Structure 1
Amino acid sequence: MKRSQKVRYIIDQFLSRGTLAIVLMLSIITFAAVLLIGILSHMFAGGDTTVFETLWTSLMQTLDPGNLSGVDGSFWYLLLMTIATIVGIFITSMLISVLSSGFQQKLENMQKGTSQVIEKGHTLLLGWNDNIPVIVSEIITANENVKRPVIVILSETDTLTVQDGLKAMMKDFKNTKVIVRRGEIHLKDNLEMCSIAHARSVVVAENDDVAIIKCLLGISQTAFFAPEAKGHVTAIFSDPQNLMAAKKMCGERLEAILLSDAMNRITAQTCLQPGLSFIYKELFDFEGNEFYFFNHPSLAGKTMKESLCRFSNATVCGLFKDGTPHINPKMDTVIGADDKLIVICEDDDKAILVEHHEERFADRIVKTPHKASRSVRRILFIGYNPSLLSVIEEMCPFVMKDSHLSFLVPTDTDTTLLDSTLRHCEVGYDIKKGVTYSNDALERLEYTKLDTIVVIANDLSDGERSDSETLLSIMHLKNILNEMKLDIPIIIEIERIQNEPVLHYASVDDFIVSNVLSNKMLCQIAENRHLNAVFNELLGEEGSEIYLKPAKHYVKMDEPVDFCTVVESAALKREIAIGFRLKHIHENGGVVLNPNKKKEIVFTGGDCVVVLAED
């Protein structure tokens, strides 16, 4: 190798180190030029000028070329000063260019989201999709009372795209700082870049089970899984076997939701009880009322029944005992000193005990025995997707055998599995095919004997198209029912949360946004991991569930009562009342959760009480 090639190679390697290396090189060149020109200038300057003075003059000429006009001396002295000026012009220009380029590169790196995060106690979100803005919005609401909360988002999506997506969905981040970083979410280095070891909780927001497990494997290699770490990971799984594999890998660090079971059960219950999704939405939402744990020494030794009316602005719904939640436990269950009440309230500091509640309306309690919720139903389903089969399976135990289910499914639908599922359900049914959003197809259906209409999303792969078809179906249905002078509750399934405001204009009785409810649950668990057990108890096959039951079964109609009277009446039936639904109110479906116990209310025909009951 030639010496010149070796020199060029060394220079290339030196310059490849970045802006600081180039600045250092320019400084060396400047120093060398100033030293050489200064020494030569001293030789031609003559007079009493010292070496230091000529070096200083050379430095000033190099750094400030404008000084040349005031220089006097011999021809050779002026020539050297001119050379110093020219060198200064080139060096200054190069320095400005290098610094500008380095600064621009730094800005670009910051925009790429590859710099180290130095935070503690933050929430780390992994992935980017339509669900992330919902999750961020919920966590921001939950953090309103927290000092300097931080959310860090790591995804493979460009940081500007993520930031624009967040700003499009929410206008105000309130007191929460949101940091966006870019990188593959399963790589250890990227996770450590986001300070995962110091995160309070990690939310894996991927929609695919395989991607979630791959990400969990990466997390398990970080200090987040160290024995002394206290954080936990939350994720939503679609397949129970994948969930089991993830639990075996992560152990107690993982708090996961099985999406299909939870959402199918909520959908089935909402189909049978219009208005129920408004209740779930409020309970899973950080705006309004949600679940909290409450402990107070004065409750030790009391029974569950004695605690029900001890709060004016909170509603008791269960007991957290020995690490296990019990929703609607037996009324004679004794509260231990270490037990915590599970309450529904606006915030954890709003649950305040009262000394005594005066029973003012005990004579207006309707003392009828508990009535099961099973009944004969006539329901019309419009649309089809594979999840409908699971919804029907969940629904069947809650309807009587004389019930009848009607279906209008797309023309190209294979109804073999639907037919098989309905035969096992042991209810009457009929299946018709047609264009589910066609007025002609909808007009040919029988409506007079129906008690509920459910519009199911047709194509889960194209949420925008599916929601548009749903909206068109509703418009036709409204016209048909108005012409027939029928008032039948309509429940719809929405795929994209962005379409919720548009579908509100359709004035439906209830709507289900499966991915939104599941992600709201995910946020609740990210903030308090013990709520996963509460949700599993509430949405499980066994135990108590949420029901809307006629208010006339609890208190006398058209007479004022307070809500504590309703709670006392429900307790006699081994139920816990947590709210009510007023038929004449349209906002929020008429649902009011956790009402003030002392405030008077008058129930009329068609009003319902929201209760936790076993059936």
Structure 2
Amino acid sequence: MAERTTSPLPRLRYWFDNVMARGTPALLGWVLSLCLLIVVPVSAGLVWADPHTPTTRAGQLAAIWRWVGRTLRLGGAVGTPAYVLLTVLLALVTLLFVSTLVSLITNGLNEKVMALRLGRSTVLEEGHTVLLGWSEQVFPIVSELVAANANRRGGVVAILSPKDKVGMEDELHTKVGRTGTTRVICRNGSVTDPAVLARVSPRTADAVLVLTPGGEGDDALVVKTLLALDAAAVGGDRTVVVAAVRDSRHQLAASLAAGPGGRVLDIDEITARLIVQTSRQPGLSLVYQELLDFAGDEFYAVSEPALTGRSFGEALLSYATSSVVGLVAADGTVRVNPAPATVIRAGDRLVVITRDDDTAVRAPAPAHVDEAAITVPGDRIPPPDRLLLLGWNRRAPTVIEQLDQYVGPGSRLDIVASGDEPIVHAATRHLRVSFRSGDTTEPRTLSDLDVPSYDRVIVLGSDRPGAEDPAASDVRTLVTLLHLRALEESTGRELSLVTEMSDDRNRLLAPVREGTDFIVSGRLISLLMAQISQNRHLADLFDTLFTAEGSEIYLKPAAGYVRPGALVSYATVVESARRQHHCAIGYRLHAQSATGPSYGVRINPDKRERVRLGALDRVIVLAEQ
């Protein structure tokens, strides 16, 4: 038999719960009874304690009634029974009216506060940046926009997504932290409803960024969001609309939905191109990281009327702390690394790499050039390459196609992936492609390949259906890198390695040496979208940089520009590059290639700076292949 509790507290709580369960009438009765049990005795005590209390019983009762009436707001009038009853009735009506009024005001304020907390009010801003949707992209984009607005006040970022407003604010506070002078406003609602889009005022925004959600059907949601923007009459010359799709097959539909002023990035195509370029130019991912984030030097378009009528080659040495890399014509056409003899016309703007949009200031005079240190590179025919591709995903055919455009005849590509992967690729002209079935997470698979004998190794991330968590999709990549690191240590040979990952957080876990190239598609696209949102002309510039045609970023041997070991001004490197129709934008020191945070990469150095480049160092240039 259960033991009965002797404590009165549980029984009192149980009795209280039963009273509450009986509803409002019972609760009102108990509240009134409790109130009278306290007010009447206390009122009687006040009357008897008063030295001027009436001496008659009737007078004392009347005094007690007055105290009770004043306390309960019942008036406390004394007179005939009818008079007292009417005053009590009037007081009750007044009390009911005041209580109702207070209740209505309180409920209205609570509804307004709840509406604000739910994020359903309208943002009345102009010149702000709008983010539509919610994914891991939001954190690097907001961080970059905060950095871009660091030197000006009044920057606003408005985010609309179906996610709870408070939840969005908590995640941003955790992963982004302080936003400085930039205000981040979150609103809740469907991004595919034109009426709901008005909550973030996209018509008055400078830029609208459509984020790529995770999971199945994410490209379809991007297209629907762009159509909703078009229905909401957003766009034109004022607002920059930037979006991204994961599958190349959906880019055309998204571009049509975005309209002529919108820019839709192809995540697969850009990622594949950068993987290929980085595999050819070790350290290139570090260069792009420096150029695409707003923390260091980045691309800007600036007007310089004083250079009108001058040649582009003259402009290269006209700035001491900025690197000139191209021209934006009056009609918006972007030319990257034009011929040095190209004349700068009225209305043209210079594309420069500089610290900020107000730091591109012409130098009083060109920096000194050490003519004796300039070298002339000899003709060099690159030997055939032996390349190893570990893993397979939907971007792999594009990687193979792009590799075929860069390598010389007789090059070979060996592919190792599990047998259940759909290995399909187009015919190649220069590459001899072979496939081998195997699990790259098995040590025996890699040890049988003689991995150190390959010129370059590419590790592709997994994108198998059902892998919803980007962090989980990188597990196989991390295990593969672990075995590759063991091979490096056992053979004593460093691998030229480029790795694709889905989640930037996993890059810190990768068991590789410092300064190794990583391509994280989500972060890369986020940085590109943030850059284009600040300057729409950069979209054409990035299109040029990420294709095999036209000029690209290369890390070329320093000996091809200046004498190894000579102490020269950086202007000498720029002038030597100009004579080869290249635009020098920096250098990488081999001795510091494993030392963070820059890993030897120096972008946009001062042209007056003295530098000593050795035979293993590289000059970073924009040049045609």
- How would you bin the TM-score normalised by the shorter chain? 0.7 to 0.9
Per-residue displacement from partner, 1:420-470 (whole Å, max 9, x unpaired)? x4x524434443322222223222220342222222112355322221222
Q: Structure 2 matches for 1:243-392, cutoff 5 A?
A: 243-248=251-256, 250-322=258-330, 323-368=332-377, 374-392=382-400
CA distance in 1, matches of 2:70, 2:513: 73
2:476 corresponds to 1:469: yes
Is the Cα contact below 8 Å between 2:407 and 2:430 reproduced in 1?
no
Is the Cα contact below 8 Å between 1:196 and 1:223 reproduced in 2?
no
CA distance in 1, matches of 2:233, 2:488: 60
Is the Cα contact below 8 Å between 1:201 and 1:232 reproduced in 2?
yes
Per-residue displacement from partner, 1:53-74 (whole Å, max 9, x unpaired)? xxxxxxx999975455853322
Q: Structure 2 matches for 1:569-580, cutoff 5 A?
A: 569-580=576-587
Per-residue displacement from partner, 1:492-551 (whole Å, max 9, x unpaired)? 111012333333876361100112112211111111112112222222342111111111
- Match in the other structure for 2:454: 450
SS of structure 2 residue aligned to 1:480: helix
The alpha-carbon distance between structure 1 residues 104 and 352, as it changes in their structure 2 partners (threshold 3 A), is same
CA distance in 2, matches of 1:426, 1:361: 41
Is the Cα contact below 8 Å between 1:61 and 1:81 reproduced in 2?
no
Match for 1:194: what amino acid? V
2:79 corresponds to 1:73: yes
Give the superposition deviation at 1:369: 5.1
CA distance in 2, matches of 1:553, 1:600: 18
Structure 2 length normalisation: TM-score? 0.82
- Match in the other structure for 1:539: 546
Match for 2:517: what amino acid? D
2:552 corresponds to 1:548: no
CA distance in 1, matches of 2:509, 2:68: 68
- Match in the other structure for 2:89: 83
SS of structure 1 residue aligned to 2:150: helix
Match for 1:153: what amino acid? I
Give the superposition deviation at 1:489: 2.5
SS of structure 2 residue aligned to 1:316: strand
CA distance in 1, matches of 2:250, 2:613: 48
Give the superposition deviation at 1:126: 0.9
Please point out which of 514, 523, 536 is paired with 1:507. Answer: 514
Q: Which moved more, 1:342-351 or 1:601-610?
A: 601-610
The alpha-carbon distance between structure 1 residues 215 and 82, as it changes in their structure 2 partners (threshold 3 A), is same
CA distance in 1, matches of 2:187, 2:478: 37
CA distance in 1, matches of 2:405, 2:327: 27
CA distance in 2, matches of 1:333, 1:370: 26
Please point out which of 219, 222, 228 is paired with 2:229. Answer: 219
Please point out which of 567, 571, 586 is paired with 2:574. Answer: 567
Q: Structure 2 matches for 1:515-534, cutoff 5 A?
A: 515-534=522-541
CA distance in 2, matches of 1:235, 1:181: 19
The alpha-carbon distance between structure 1 residues 375 and 179, as it changes in their structure 2 partners (threshold 3 A), is farther
Q: Which moved more, 1:429-438 or 1:593-602?
A: 429-438
Match for 2:623: what amino acid? A
The alpha-carbon distance between structure 1 residues 554 and 460, as it changes in their structure 2 partners (threshold 3 A), is farther
CA distance in 1, matches of 2:169, 2:212: 18
2:158 corresponds to 1:149: no
What RMSD over aligned residues (CA atoms) do the two structures have, in Å? 2.6
Q: Structure 2 matches for 1:162-177, cutoff 5 A?
A: 162-177=168-183
The alpha-carbon distance between structure 1 residues 107 and 401, as it changes in their structure 2 partners (threshold 3 A), is same
The alpha-carbon distance between structure 1 residues 579 and 379, as it changes in their structure 2 partners (threshold 3 A), is same
Q: Which moved more, 1:288-297 or 1:358-367?
A: 358-367
Match for 2:578: what amino acid? A
Give the superposition deviation at 1:146: 2.8
CA distance in 1, matches of 2:250, 2:461: 26
CA distance in 2, matches of 1:198, 1:306: 40
Give the superposition deviation at 1:379: 2.4
CA distance in 2, matches of 1:224, 1:479: 54
Is the Cα contact below 8 Å between 1:385 and 1:457 reproduced in 2?
yes
2:198 corresponds to 1:188: no
SS of structure 2 residue aligned to 1:145: coil
- Match in the other structure for 1:607: 617
- Match in the other structure for 2:114: 108
Is the Cα contact below 8 Å between 1:62 and 1:84 reproduced in 2?
no
Structure 1 gap ranges (5+): 1-59
CA distance in 2, matches of 1:379, 1:64: 94
Is the Cα contact below 8 Å between 1:120 and 1:199 reproduced in 2?
yes
Give the superposition deviation at 1:215: 1.9
Please point out which of 173, 178, 184 is paired with 2:184. Answer: 178
Give the superposition deviation at 1:211: 2.1
SS of structure 1 residue aligned to 2:125: coil
Match for 1:571: what amino acid? R
Is the Cα contact below 8 Å between 2:69 and 2:75 reproduced in 1?
no
Give the superposition deviation at 1:155: 1.2
Count of aligned pairs: 549
Per-residue displacement from partner, 1:228-266 (whole Å, max 9, x unpaired)? x72231112345664444545554331232333322211
Match for 1:221: what amino acid? A
Match for 2:341: what amino acid? D
Is the Cα contact below 8 Å between 2:369 and 2:575 reproduced in 1?
no
Match for 1:220: what amino acid? D
2:406 corresponds to 1:398: yes
CA distance in 1, matches of 2:192, 2:301: 34
Match for 1:350: what amino acid? T
SS of structure 2 residue aligned to 1:326: strand
Q: Which moved more, 1:491-500 or 1:169-178?
A: 491-500
Give the superposition deviation at 1:90: 4.7
Match for 2:265: what amino acid? I
Give the superposition deviation at 1:611: 0.9
Give the superposition deviation at 1:83: 3.2
SS of structure 1 residue aligned to 2:578: helix
SS of structure 2 residue aligned to 1:133: helix
CA distance in 1, matches of 2:439, 2:263: 42
The alpha-carbon distance between structure 1 residues 414 and 203, as it changes in their structure 2 partners (threshold 3 A), is closer
SS of structure 2 residue aligned to 1:459: coil
Is the Cα contact below 8 Å between 1:63 and 1:92 reproduced in 2?
no
Is the Cα contact below 8 Å between 1:489 and 1:508 reproduced in 2?
no
Please point out which of 379, 398, 412 is paired with 2:420. Answer: 412
Is the Cα contact below 8 Å between 1:196 and 1:224 reproduced in 2?
yes
Is the Cα contact below 8 Å between 2:230 and 2:258 reproduced in 1?
yes
Q: Structure 2 matches for 1:580-595, cutoff 5 A?
A: 580-585=587-592, 586-587=595-596, 588-595=598-605
2:442 corresponds to 1:435: no
SS of structure 1 residue aligned to 2:602: strand
Per-residue displacement from partner, 1:4-56 (whole Å, max 9, x unpaired)? xxxxxxxxxxxxxxxxxxxxxxxxxxxxxxxxxxxxxxxxxxxxxxxxxxxxx
Q: Which moved more, 1:174-183 or 1:399-408?
A: 399-408
CA distance in 2, matches of 1:61, 1:122: 62
SS of structure 1 residue aligned to 2:242: strand
Match for 1:599: what amino acid? E
2:159 corresponds to 1:159: no
Structure 1 length normalisation: TM-score? 0.83
Give the superposition deviation at 1:353: 0.6
Match for 1:471: what amino acid? L
Is the Cα contact below 8 Å between 1:152 and 1:180 reproduced in 2?
yes
SS of structure 2 residue aligned to 1:606: coil
- Match in the other structure for 2:126: 120
Per-residue displacement from partner, 1:571-603 (whole Å, max 9, x unpaired)? 121111111111122323321111111111111
CA distance in 2, matches of 1:218, 1:330: 43
Is the Cα contact below 8 Å between 2:302 and 2:352 reproduced in 1?
yes
Is the Cα contact below 8 Å between 1:61 and 1:84 reproduced in 2?
no
SS of structure 1 residue aligned to 2:178: coil
